[in-house]
Amino acid sequence: MFVGVGASRVRDIFGQAKKNAPCIIFIDEIDAVGRQRGAGFAGGNDEREQTINQILVEMDGFDGNPGIITIAATNRVDVLDQALLRPGRFDRKITVDLPDYKGRTRILGVHARGKPLEPDVDLEAIGRRTPGFSGAQLENLMNEAAISAARAQKSTIGWEEIDGAVDRIMVGLEKKGGTATLSIKQNELVAYHEAGHAICGALIPDYDQVQKISIIPRSNGAGGLTFFSPQEQRLESGMYSKQYLESQLAVALGGRLAEEIIYGEDFVTTGASNDIQQVANIAKRMVKEWGMSDKVGALALSEPQQGGPFMGRSMGQRATQWGGKIMSNVDSEIERLVNNSYLTAKNILLSNRPLLDHLAKTLVEQEVVSAEEFQMMLVEFNAKVVPFEVVGEERNRDKLPFQDLPVAV
């Protein structure tokens, strides 16, 4: 009944544009109709294919369209049909990147208009706190802060509401009741876990700065969170050094290690499941994709993700088969990376046990520790990284956690 409606509407649009030339046609979310066409082996009629064919004909067919400029927007340019991107059609791409620090500050200034902000609210500080946020997320941030202020029956928006809104957007809502829903022992365990992450992150070289440590449970299932402030240049370039990635492995293992040190291996919990998944993923990609292993070398052993055969891709292609020797080297290198990071994190925590105890105790008492308070603790306890010999490298080497376990590759 409705076959050809999309193509008919495209003809109508261009017909109206010709009557009103010079004219601009703007198509938002063009990936809805301009997605890669199928391989055609399944048979049947695809209404979307008729629509995209009509767009192609109207833009660059037998009849010229003088005075008509066609503009489209999408955030999925990777799935667009190649015919749309040829010269004569959408032949110019303009990428709208995420805003940098100055851009975020100016966007916040736009969305702060008409909102009664308290004198202590610094838009530049919010801009530094929100790397990677888009304009829409920043608008949502200011709206969330205004809603929080209204719920608290305040007539102005303060830094506390904005800080809470950033956390809510990044990691989800706080659970009702907070830490009161957990027992004292559970709160203490979560506090040690987060303290382990924070201390490893602060004392390991070339890593992000600790922004805030919290043991307030979240709606996404997280019992607590350690917020790190990523460097703007590193985030924008997308380039991470081998040292940074190894530091990330050690920081992720710091939470489980703190539980081990305080409660013993038999009383560790499932709270570190997400950390362990992160460790496995980073170590695997370092070896299999990024060539960060001397033993394996600069080989890309992972096949790139591609669309299915229905997208007209990967037809009749086989994945590259690598030999058993190379894959065995991959297993041993992933294991080596994880175990080295385990030893590094364990050395840091054992060398700074008084700081670990004090930070966990403070978290239990006040639930949140700010970056300034944490920096004061680091100075007060003279926190530093001590070489392995001080804590006994041989003793640590005897009890590596992953030496007898198969590593998922």
| Residues 304, 308, 309, 314, Cα dihedral to 10° | 0
Among 58, 194, 246, 335, the active-site one is 194
The more confidently predicted of residues 214 and 220 is 214
The predicted structure's pLDDT at residue 322: 75
**Model confidence over 92-105: pLDDT tens digits?**
889 888 898 899 99
Fold of 5-85: Rossmann fold (3.40.50)
Q: Tokens 């088969």 appear where? A: 321
Percent with pLDDT over 90 in the chain: 31
pLDDT category at 377 given cuts 50, 70, 90 is very high
CATH 1.10.8.60 fits 101-171, yes or no: yes
Mean pLDDT of 159-176: 83
Position 391 scores a pLDDT of 40
- DSSP structure class, residue 157: B
pLDDT for 397 beyond 60: no
Query: What is the rounded CA–CA span in Å between residue 147 and residue 173?
Result: 13
299-313 per-position pLDDT tens digit: 777 765 554 444 445
For residue 10, pLDDT over 50 is answered with: yes
DSSP secondary structure letters along 219-265? TTS-S-EEEEE--HHHHHH----HHHHHHHHHHHHHHHHHHHHHH-G
Q: Cα separation of 352 and 255, whole Å?
A: 14
Determine whether 139 is an active site residue. no
Lowest mean per-residue pLDDT among 1-15, 20-34, 174-188, 389-403? 389-403
Could you tell me the CATH superfamily of domain 178-300+324-397? Peptidase M41 (1.20.58.760)
Higher pLDDT, 245 or 66: 245
Statement: the pTM of the whole predicted model exceeds 0.75: no
Lowest average pLDDT, out of 129-133, 137-141, 386-390, goes to: 386-390
Three-state DSSP class for 213?
strand
Listed by start position, the domains of the chain span: 5-85, 101-171, 178-300+324-397
**Average pLDDT of the residues of the chain:** 82
Tokens describing residue 398: 């005897």
The contacts of residue 83 (CB under 8 Å, 6+ apart) are: 52, 56, 89
The per-residue pLDDT for 233 is 79
